């Protein structure tokens, strides 16, 4: 018994020391924490969603969910073949061109009206704090920080590892002019060497008003946050980009809720809506949407085109890797919804309404 207790104690010390390494970031403190406490979205020591949002659905337990994730016998949650991708020379794209390029999961580059925007970049090949813990699918990890020009605005939806990657953000640091994130996230970034001058932290329903012709509205989402042993001490968010020529909604990670209808009413019409569509499960239905809910949210946003993300790079849910795109494709087809499904790295021409996207996932096993 004494030996077992000693082993557990030593393992606890090792885990604790590991969570103190830079990749786990830093908890908000000082003036940053004071501002957080004053937020109407911060109650009882944590940020809260607009409506009650348990991480697990009633009737599900953490032990069962963890067991199913670790020991899922399905051979379809990961592709056996390489995912198709295109290595585009992003630096060579004229600034006059309006484009969007997806890098798998929830990372993408938007160039619109002469402004360069990068969202939730993860280019380390891993979506876990553990080395090799959640590896990217073969063929998906072909971009690095060196492939990018200077970025006017880096947008961070929340601080989970599959959206907020330590290695990637450190490598990108010299190229970032401004970084927009929810309250508290800046604490991580400052520990990683980002200057407070480039970090713009906002609460829900606040707006970044730069001088270069773009408004960045920071808006609600229905999710949660946390790194290491901390939970919900930083704010998760969605964004509405309002430029001279178009409006683009970036949903981040979010379960379905009434915020989509409110955002559509306040900011519509929206030209493109980018919504998470993947890593869902009935066990955590409040924090991730099923494809049917994605289509419902799209309609409530009053958007013209739907770009589904959060799939095709990491296995974080128990569904088949290609199920999210297959289900949303069938739903969109049945309701005549314009769907954007580019290959990783493919240039989406935002000024070309006739661009056709292949159902590329059907050709991969």
Mean pLDDT of 139-160: 98
pLDDT at position 1 is 64
pLDDT at position 359 is 97
pLDDT at position 9 is 60
pLDDT at position 228 is 84
In this prediction, residue 213 has a pLDDT band, given cuts at 50, 70 and 90, of confident
pLDDT at position 229 is 82
pLDDT at position 153 is 97
Above 70 in pLDDT, residue 3?
A: no
Above 70 in pLDDT, residue 230?
A: yes
pLDDT at position 131 is 83
CB 272 within 8 A of CB 246: yes
pLDDT at position 73 is 61
pLDDT at position 133 is 87
The kind and range of the H/E element at 273 are strand 270-276
The kind and range of the H/E element at 324 are helix 323-334
Chain mean position to CA 198: 20
Backbone phi, psi, residue 312, to 5°? 70, 15
Taken in order of first residue, the domains within the chain and their CATH numbers are: 28-363 (3.60.15.10)
Mean pLDDT of 150-159: 98
Mean pLDDT of 2-21: 66
Percent of the chain with pLDDT over 90: 85
| Start-end of H helices in 220-317 | 259-267, 291-301
Reported as a single tens digit per residue, the pLDDT across 257-284 is 999 999 999 999 999 999 999 999 999 9
Mean pLDDT of 1-27: 72
Above 90 in pLDDT, residue 11?
A: no
Higher-confidence position of 209 and 239: 239
Reported as a single tens digit per residue, the pLDDT across 75-112 is 799 999 999 999 999 999 999 999 999 999 999 999 99
Mean pLDDT of 42-67: 91
* β-bridge mates for residue 201, sequence order: 181
Model pTM score: 0.94
Determine whether 303 is exposed, middle or buried from the number of CB atoms within 10 Å of its CB (0-12, 13-18, 19+).
buried
pLDDT at position 68 is 77
């Amino acid at each position: 018994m004494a030996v077992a207790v000693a082993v557990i104690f030593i393992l606890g010390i090792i885990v604790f020391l590991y969570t103190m390494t830079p990749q786990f970031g830093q908890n908000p403190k000082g003036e940053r924490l004071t501002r957080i406490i004053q937020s109407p979205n911060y109650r009882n020591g944590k940020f809260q969603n607009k409506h009650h949002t348990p991480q697990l659905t009633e009737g599900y337990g953490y032990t069962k969910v963890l067991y199913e994730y670790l020991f899922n016998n399905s051979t379809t949650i990961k592709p056996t073949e390489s995912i198709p991708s295109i290595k585009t020379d992003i630096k060579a794209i004229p600034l006059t061109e309006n484009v969007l390029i997806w890098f798998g999961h929830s990372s993408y580059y938007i160039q619109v009206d002469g402004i360069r925007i990068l969202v939730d970049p993860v280019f380390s090949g891993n979506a876990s704090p553990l080395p090799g813990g959640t590896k990217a699918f073969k063929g998906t990890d072909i971009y690095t920080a060196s492939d990018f020009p200077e970025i006017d605005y880096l947008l961070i939806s929340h601080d989970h590892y599959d959206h907020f990657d330590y290695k990637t953000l450190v490598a990108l640091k010299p190229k970032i002019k401004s970084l927009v994130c929810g309250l508290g996230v800046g604490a991580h970034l400052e520990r990683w060497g980002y200057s407070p001058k480039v970090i713009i932290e906002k609460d829900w329903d606040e707006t970044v008003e730069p001088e270069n012709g773009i408004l960045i509205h920071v808006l609600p989402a229905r999710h949660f946050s946390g790194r290491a042993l901390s939970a919900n001490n930083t704010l998760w968010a969605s964004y509405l980009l309002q430029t001279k020529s178009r409006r683009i909604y970036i949903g981040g990670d979010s379960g379905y809720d009434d915020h989509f209808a409110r955002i559509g009413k306040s900011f519509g019409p929206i030209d493109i809506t980018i919504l998470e569509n993947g890593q869902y499960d009935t066990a955590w239905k409040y924090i991730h949407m099923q494809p049917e809910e994605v289509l419902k949210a799209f309609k409530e946003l009053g958007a013209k085109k739907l770009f589904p993300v959060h799939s095709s790079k990491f296995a974080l849910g128990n569904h088949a890797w290609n199920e999210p795109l297959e289900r949303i494709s069938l739903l969109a087809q049945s309701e005549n919804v314009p769907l954007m499904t580019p290959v990783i790295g493919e240039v989406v021409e935002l000024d070309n309404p006739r661009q056709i996207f292949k159902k590329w996932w059907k050709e991969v096993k």
